[in-house]
Amino acid sequence: MPRLQLEARAQPSRVWTYASPALALVGTVLIGVVLFTLLGKDPLRGLQVFFWDPIKSSYALGELVVKATPLLLIALGLAVCFRSNVWNIGAEGQYILGAVAASGVALMADKTTGGWIVLPVLLAGVLGGMAWAGLTALLRDRFNANEILVSLMLVYVAVQILGYLVFGPWKDPHGYNFPQTATFEAVARIPRLMAGSRVTIGVLFALTGVLAVWVFLFRTRAGFAQQVGGLAPAAARYAGFSSRSALWTALLVSGGLAGLAGALEVAGPIGQLTPYVPAGYGFAAIIVAFVGRLHPVGMVFSAVLMSMFYIGGELAQSRLGLPKSLTGMFQGLLLFCLLACDTLVHYRLRWGNK
């Protein structure tokens, strides 16, 4: 009896390589409509909150850019890792340590400090993220530890370090007992691009990162070595490419970009170190990287989409009375829909006999 079945393609489909994320988004929207209906909410109103309200005004667009900036920076570093077959799942911890290190420098500033302090703040964030990622690289290199488990477990260590500092030695004595540091001096804050908006020059760092990662991956011998090592380790060894060098390069680049994202966040929109710095950006950036096909340009669009989910989830709480977990649900739906749609890259649907 004829039926619908999957047939392997001779070559992966270039069309579906790029069409699959679009189809995954459509699938996510359709499932979202069903969920809004089951929750007793107007599905059209729910879709408006998620996909129209975050872009309907200049202020809303600014907030979209604020959230897309750290997502894009972290995703760029993860793309280097994943293309190198290094599975860094702990970018959230590297993001947190970058924020902690940057805050340590920013808290040293006082009213007599010059604007030069911004550079050490950002550099401390980069080095903090690199140091935390370097722990994963060291354990993988010296003891062959699984980088997935090590990097993930280090996230929880980073959260504990953050909690110790904001509840302990760095707690603002004039902060009405809230677990947070003192607000950074203005000279230690990242400059804003325009008045009336929270968008900082961090977005320029992110766009520069897009260009830098593209050049590194597709226009340099080192980037070629990283990708060959990820696709064909045996061929990389035959060509003389060092697997150790690829491991350290991937994790240090990824950790540095995640740490920079953390520094830009605490010295930019937040302006202090709080327990709420871990916003899940490090985990959401994994989805950003794969939806963007591990390509720097593609990740710009996927970062914007993911930031819409963040803002839409916040608006859904206040305007529709829906739980905060809705944001994570939409992120997960997008990833699962992408994995399902990616089947069409290597297989085609065919109607016929078994």
**pLDDT above 70 for 118:** yes
CA-to-CA separations, 294 to 149, 205, 214, 339, in angstroms, rounded:
22, 19, 10, 14
In this prediction, residue 354 has a pLDDT band, given cuts at 50, 70 and 90, of low
Phi, psi of 240 (to 5 degrees): 90, 15
Separation of alpha carbons 321 and 236, rounded Å: 53
Per-chain mean pLDDT for the chain: 92
In this prediction, residue 10 has a pLDDT band, given cuts at 50, 70 and 90, of confident
Q: Which residues of 223-254 are buried (b: 16+ CB within 10 A; e: fewer)?
A: bbbbbbbbeeeeebeeeebebeebbbbbbbbb
Question: Given this model, what pLDDT does residue 101 score?
Answer: 98
**pLDDT above 80 for 351:** no
Instruction: Judge whether 243 and 230 are in contact, CB under 8 Å.
Output: no
Q: Quick one: DSSP state of residue 175? A: S
Instruction: Judge whether 71 and 210 are in contact, CB under 8 Å.
Output: no
Q: What is the pTM of this model?
A: 0.94
Q: pLDDT of 49-103, one tens digit each?
A: 888 988 888 888 999 999 999 999 999 999 999 999 999 999 999 999 999 999 9
Instruction: Judge whether 97 and 131 are in contact, CB under 8 Å.
Output: yes
Across 147-172, average pLDDT: 96
Question: Given this model, what pLDDT does residue 154 score?
Answer: 98
Separation of alpha carbons 104 and 119, rounded Å: 13
Residue 79 is encoded by which pair of tokens? Answer: 């793309």
Instruction: Judge whether 122 and 267 are in contact, CB under 8 Å.
Output: yes
Separation of alpha carbons 31 and 24, rounded Å: 11
In this prediction, residue 1 has a pLDDT band, given cuts at 50, 70 and 90, of low
Q: pLDDT of 292-304, one tens digit each?
A: 999 999 999 999 9
In this prediction, residue 8 has a pLDDT band, given cuts at 50, 70 and 90, of confident
Question: Given this model, what pLDDT does residue 289 score?
Answer: 96
**pLDDT above 80 for 4:** no
Question: Given this model, what pLDDT does residue 234 score?
Answer: 77
